[in-house]
Amino acid sequence: MDETLPLKVLYVEDEPDLRERIRIVLEMHFLKVCTAANGREGLEAFCRDQPDVVVSDIMMPVMDGLEMAKRIGETAPQTPIIFSTAFTETGYLLKAIELGVSAYVRKPLDCRELIATIVKAGTPVLQRRELEQSRRAEQESLELHLGDSQAMQQVVRQARRIARTDFSVVIQGETGVGKSHLAWLIHGLSARRHHPFITVTVSSLAETLVESQLFGHVKGAFTGAAGAKKGLFEEAQGGTLFLDDIDCASPSLQAKILHAVEQKWFFPVGGTKPVQVDTRIVVASNRDLLQEARAGRFREDLYYRLADLVIALPPLREREADIEALACGFLNEVSLELQRVPPRISAEALSMLNRQPWPGNVRELKSVMKRAALFAGETLTGEELAGIMTATPASAAADASAAGPAVSRLQSLEELKRGAVVQALAATGGKKMEAARLLEVDYSSFKRMLEKYRL
């Protein structure tokens, strides 16, 4: 072994010379080694040092290795225990197996065999630790995208609690507040985290294909169906299906979703054989679904079936305490991708960020920070930020900056309209339908605006 493994090893041996020699050898290969002279001292050391692997003799005074292994197993059953012993009577070894001992190494000890046995027993410990660290980093990243204000911490607490269940969840909030991140956080904290997490933006699916996309189809179900295809409900088997923009689902699609959620089975398009599913449903909308249901625009029975818990994400303008942390986090994240030192945010720039209404919420802030990471100097100044956030062409922005804010020319109505379209697209990550909603215009009018302004 060429490098030290990050394992803590407890070595319990009543013979002082052997205990010291083995300790020296083990310290060459493992992060930390603690020792004890008998089972009682071993238990005390185990409670104090929380070792990853225990190596112990069997026959010792005060308390033998079997009794120590039994007590460790009662409190920490996942801890690997290895016996190093010359005492190989069958009865003792069978007792060791009953106690769940991982392995034993015969005395006189071969140090290479002992080290290899510890490595083998400790590898699952390292893998579990790496997985937990990865999961923790992922959760911290997700929580970063949500914010750490009191309101958002309450949201995270709700997410942690609901994640332990199989309840359906409705997430509500304006475009860009982080609904998809919250859905992924719930999945990542749940027992389903090792199974698929599939996102479907209902508004982006063609109405003629949406049912086939969600529920699949059999061969020949419609023109062009050359073969059978699994739907996303089935693809998410065992995991979580996240339905964004659920309010855009047609009445017939809502009926089929209700049946699939309640009965846990459905018929593929054109099929006569039911498909069984075990899929958790999380949905999101930038509208109040209860009001939509009461107005007759959304099925009330589907709402109550989905709304085991409703989590409302407040807009960014209502949680100013999150803006600095989110902006710095995004700036650091993008700067890392660009392999540059993250710019500092000046007090003037931070004040400007806090004054913004952020109609695109967190998504818009991230878009601004991407451009800041690309164009800002060592410090993101207020002047640089103003140039980054303006919707006018670069030349006009430069002219306005040179003239100073007090004498900047007034923009024409058409320029203002074009700027609003550009901002809406930036805030929604280029999603045209969401941008149209943000501007409160119908989609066909929005498409005409895109053509008119050559966007």
142 occurs within a structural domain: no
Q: Which of 127, 132, 308, 278 is nearest to 192 (CA)?
A: 278
Higher-pLDDT residue of 303 and 330 is 303
Residues 36 and 98 in one domain: yes
Token output for 260: 């699939």
Counting beta carbons within 10 angstroms of the beta carbon of residue 21, is it exposed (0 to 12), middle (13 to 18) or buried (19 or more)?
middle
Residue 300 is predicted with a pLDDT of: 95
pLDDT at 140 over 90: no
Helices of type H across 36-191: 39-49, 65-75, 90-98, 111-146, 150-163, 179-189
Residue 141 lies inside a defined structural domain of this protein: no
Name the domain boundary from 130, 162, 190.
130
Do 350 and 373 lie in one domain? The reply is: yes
CATH code of 285's domain: 3.40.50.300
* Domain assignment of residue 186, given as a range: 147-314
**Mean per-residue pLDDT, 243-263:** 92
- 113 and 223 belong to one structural domain: no
Do both 153 and 265 map to the same domain?
A: yes
Assess whether the previous peptide bond of 314 is cis (omega < 30° from 0).
no
Most confident range (mean pLDDT) of 69-73, 83-87, 169-173, 410-414 is 169-173
Tell me how far apart the alpha carbons of residues 51 and 11 are, in angstroms, rounded to a whole number. Answer: 10
**What integer best gives the mean pLDDT of the chain?**
85
- Contacts with 71 (C-beta within 8 Å, 6 or more apart), sequence order: 43
Token digits of residue 158: 């709700």
Sheet order of strands, 169-172 included: 197-201, 240-244, 280-285, 169-172, 309-312
Beta strands in 214-332 (DSSP E): 240-244, 265-266, 275-276, 280-285, 309-312
Q: Quick one: pLDDT band at residue 422, thresholds 50, 70, 90?
A: confident
Asked if residue 287 is part of any domain, the answer here is yes
Residue 322 within any structural domain of the chain = no
pLDDT of residue 332: 87
**CA 341 – CA 152 distance, rounded (Å):** 29
The encoded tokens of residue 50 equal 């929380």
Same domain membership, residue 169 and residue 104: no
pLDDT tens column, 202-230: 888 877 778 888 998 888 777 777 788 88
| pLDDT over 90, % of the chain | 45
pLDDT at residue 271 in the model: 87
Question: Is 427 among the domain residues?
Answer: yes
The answer on 342 and 299 residing in a single domain is no
The last residue of a domain, from among 288, 314, 340: 314
**pLDDT of amino acid 406:** 37
- What pLDDT does residue 143 have? 58
Q: Which of the 8 DSSP states describes residue 288?
A: -
Give one DSSP letter per residue of 234-264, joined into a string.
HHTTTSEEEEETGGGS-HHHHHHHHHHHHHS
157 with 303, same domain: the answer is: yes
Do residues 13 and 22 touch, judged by C-beta distance below 8 A? yes
402 and 265 in a common domain: no
- Based on the fold, state whether residues 122 and 170 are members of the same structural domain: no
Of 11-20, 27-36, 334-343, which gets the smallest average pLDDT? Answer: 334-343
Q: Is residue 303 in a domain?
A: yes
Number of domains the chain is built from: 3
pLDDT tops 60 at residue 6? yes
| Same domain (yes/no): 310, 354 | no
Give the pLDDT score at 262: 92
SS3 124: helix
- 116 pLDDT above the threshold of 90: yes
pLDDT band of 2, cuts 50, 70, 90: low
Query: Does residue 184 sit in the same domain as residue 275?
Result: yes
Structure tokens at 218: 């059999």
Residue 137 falls inside a structural domain: no
Structure tokens at 424: 């809406």
Q: What is residue 321's DSSP assignment?
A: G
What's the burial of 77, exposed, middle or buried (CB within 10 Å: 0-12/13-18/19+)? exposed
The CATH number of the domain holding residue 63 is 3.40.50.2300
Q: How far apart are CA 313 and CA 37, in angstroms?
A: 57
